[in-house]
Homo-oligomer: A and B are copies of this chain.
Amino acid sequence: MLDDMARPIPETHAEILAAAARRFSVTGFKGTSLQDIAREVGCSKAAVLYHFANKEAILTELMAPAISALEALDARLAPLTGDAARSAAITDFVELAVRFRREISLLHSELPELLQQPAFEPIQRRTERLLDALAGRSEQPADRIAPLMVCAGVAAACAEFGELPDDELGPALVTVATRALGHPTP
């Protein structure tokens, strides 16, 4: 009764990931049910839970590449200070944001609660260190406003202008971010 059509490749795992990414970015993580994902894939909810231990595991696997890229960026910035840290942080962060813009748009909503989950603790810690680099290692609250605005602005722009080609979106973001962070002179 199930031999309705050819089932050439059982790459359901990847299909579930893709469908979940699509749904999460539209209706959010909490706003997307396993039923929704299963419907979009064209399988049963039980099939989704056959490929993934639970709902959170889908999100975790979806974000894994972006998280490890963020960790690599953090390691690269760690030894730098001052303007060197700032300029490297700008270009490298923008490059990362553009590359993983889909993942960013997933987390862009529901940030506060989702990041609470232990699986995403690396994101929170590395983001703080990225802000640190963007602030030129300054710890003055006033110096932290611009970096935060830059991070949020880049994330929002990546989510909003996701259809723009990388080599158009990236340089524009670098330009605005550099301007926003002000004269890197002294």
Q: Which residues of A contact B (CB under 8 A)?
A: 25-28, 30-31, 108-113, 141-142, 144-146, 148-157, 160-161, 164, 168-169, 172-173, 176-177, 179-182
Residue pair A157, B145 in contact (C-beta under 8 Å): yes
Which residues of chain B are near A154, meaning CB under 8 Å? 149
Given contacts A109-B109, A109-B112, A111-B109, contact A180 B149 (CB under 8 A): yes
What are 12 pairs between A and B in contact, CB < 8 Å? A25-B112, A28-B110, A31-B113, A108-B111, A109-B112, A141-B164, A148-B160, A149-B153, A149-B156, A152-B153, A176-B182, A177-B180
Known: A31-B110, A150-B153, A152-B152. 11 other contacts (CB 8 A): A145-B157, A145-B169, A146-B172, A146-B176, A148-B157, A148-B160, A149-B152, A149-B173, A149-B180, A176-B182, A179-B180
Residue of B nearest to A155 (CB): B152
Task: Give bound CA distance, A180 to B145, whole Å.
Answer: 13
Given contacts A109-B110, A180-B176, contact A148 B141 (CB under 8 A): no
